[in-house]
Structure 1
């Protein structure tokens, strides 16, 4: 699917949030490229500005959506629901407010933050640049409280030479995560701003949890300066964590997500049980229990697990007992030719033999 098609899906599906909105970017939807953002007359505020005036930003947002979709499929590759991008399935999943929906919303918002921030650093957007606002120089303890955590990380950064701990300065070109956070919020939350029901509150909460999974875990990187590698001074800047770390962190939040119910005023939520710890901003929340995804279901979007590969020796979610939902599995033996006994010959050649490797493939019934 080309980028114009992606932009069509992003703009047009945002107009109707209940149909699966932005996640149709990851499905096999083919739409007329001439319809790109033509319906912006139905949009308002910052979202309309993005569609009408910032095509380059919209392109980066689309990349972020795709990155979030890819990470979702990686994180759920071994589970009964594998974050499929089959439209008829994903649409049904996203119409509910389950754990899976919470993760999809969070990882998408995180992907948008990531892609837009990276574009700022690379100079691909005229609206922003890398972050040069963090300034200062000196020893650990001299900086303002806002920079204390980053300063600790900078002082602990391994470096060659015998520089005194804390001799460093802010510099370089840091990742402008605040701009990425802002644009992700404009884009992801805009369709729901006028609504104040519990579903809206839950979706906006999970969107923000995804954004915070990037913003709250920025890293400090440093470079040494000095004669002969003496590292008499270190220049440090802030950088986003690898997106795989973001996905791993949100997957942990998925596993510990809290079920919530409407509060008395109907505009806020509370945990379902009084003994459950109230969720923080970075936690995921959901309103309804997930289906088991064992068998195909049109109503839930489940495709079932028949035909999925499983691990017969694993007791975990990828094991045949759990993944196949107790239906059993079939085993077939395959043989593959692979390179083996490779040797390096001077100079400069690597020679390998060909070996026949036999292995078993298990698939759910």
Structure 2
């Protein structure tokens, strides 16, 4: 996939109401023409002319931080786009069997992101996590000149069996860049939707930062492992996304606090959400039928599992409308044998498969 040029990408970031929708769009090849079209419009050029990058107060500096990254750190920008791609891939994996399957259809996605539902919470969190992840990886692999491995952890374990060393992943730098790029534009806003978005962005970053793994290497004669050197390593991103999916399932609905600056659970008996929890303020549509207002594409034509009582089962996925079954035939290798030496021979078998699709 080609990356957008830094100016094009950043101009769009400055124009849209939901910056996460831009990163999400950047992850889909089919959506790449939209930012380019917007960037050619006169209002985008006028926006840049007004924003002359002078530090006219703290609020203006915060708004221009994204543009500074785009102009001065194009390598970081590339990692940000990679992070959006990574988040897209994992979202589609986590929601592959649900009514909303994290589609990247442009109009549908925009409608979904424009609201403040559980799905929006997950999107914001997984993209923030993806950006943190890819920037951190780029630091450790030497692709970014402004950061290196994390060498702040030093010392020996209490029992003397291992010591900190090696090339630890610099998650602090990844966390910082993700926060700067995703949050800077919204830091001075206090409306409910912005507070919810910033909270979920942070939850995504913490799902990476707070779950670093410890890896070690043995030293000693003949692999005796008389001493081990250990360092901190990024978790698997699949584990990060799975953790966020669990947070999605347990997300709390929130309302503004009496002071207008805080957010509290809608139900007073519910425990206030922690920093790693996901929150939302609007109920999700059922996504059963196409709806232009909500962005729902419906579930007609989706493949379902007729024997499962779960979310991928035909009863739930098809919303009670029923399903149709068709039989497909596929030719596959079968009865394979290994012949000495060195050849594998197989027969060709025809396999019948029943495919269920929602009405």
Name 2:96's counterpart in structure 1. 77
Name 1:24's counterpart in structure 2. 25
Structure 2 gaps, min length 5: 54-62
> How many angstroms does 1:11 deviate by?
4.3
CA offsets, 1:42-66, max 9 Å, x none?
4734222101101010011000011
1:335–1:94 distance in 2 versus 1, CA, 3 Å: same
User: 1:5 touches 1:32 (CA, 8 Å); kept in 2?
Assistant: no
1:276–1:32 distance in 2 versus 1, CA, 3 Å: closer
Give the Cα separation in 2 of the matches to 1:210 and 1:98: 16
User: 2:6 touches 2:77 (CA, 8 Å); kept in 1?
Assistant: no
Give the Cα separation in 1 of the matches to 2:336 and 2:158: 51
Name 2:214's counterpart in structure 1. 220
Name 2:78's counterpart in structure 1. 59
Q: State which of 193, 199, 202 in structure 2 corresponds to 1:199.
A: 193
Name 1:287's counterpart in structure 2. 281
Q: Secondary structure at the match of 1:169?
A: strand
> How many angstroms does 1:40 deviate by?
5.0
Structure 1 gaps, min length 5: 141-165
Give the Cα separation in 2 of the matches to 1:138 and 1:211: 28
TM-score, length-scaled by structure 2: 0.90
Q: Secondary structure at the match of 1:333?
A: strand
Which 4+ residue blocks in structure 1 deviate beyond 6 angstroms?
none
Give the Cα separation in 2 of the matches to 1:195 and 1:125: 31
Does the alignment pair 1:87 with 2:88?
Answer: no
1:95–1:52 distance in 2 versus 1, CA, 3 Å: same
Give the Cα separation in 2 of the matches to 1:59 and 1:7: 12
> How many angstroms does 1:14 deviate by?
4.1
Pairwise CA RMSD:
2.0
User: 1:40 touches 1:51 (CA, 8 Å); kept in 2?
Assistant: no
Does the alignment pair 1:339 with 2:358?
Answer: no
1:223–1:18 distance in 2 versus 1, CA, 3 Å: closer
TM-score, length-scaled by structure 1: 0.88
Q: Secondary structure at the match of 2:4?
A: helix
> How many angstroms does 1:358 deviate by?
0.8
> How many angstroms does 1:79 deviate by?
0.3
Give the Cα separation in 2 of the matches to 1:7 and 1:95: 24
Output aligned runs, 1:65-214, within 5 Å: 65-140=84-159, 166-214=160-208
CA offsets, 1:254-308, max 9 Å, x none?
0000000000121210001111011000000000100000000000000000000
1:18–1:64 distance in 2 versus 1, CA, 3 Å: closer
Q: How many residues in Structure 1 have an aligned counterpart in Structure 2?
A: 340
1:13–1:48 distance in 2 versus 1, CA, 3 Å: closer
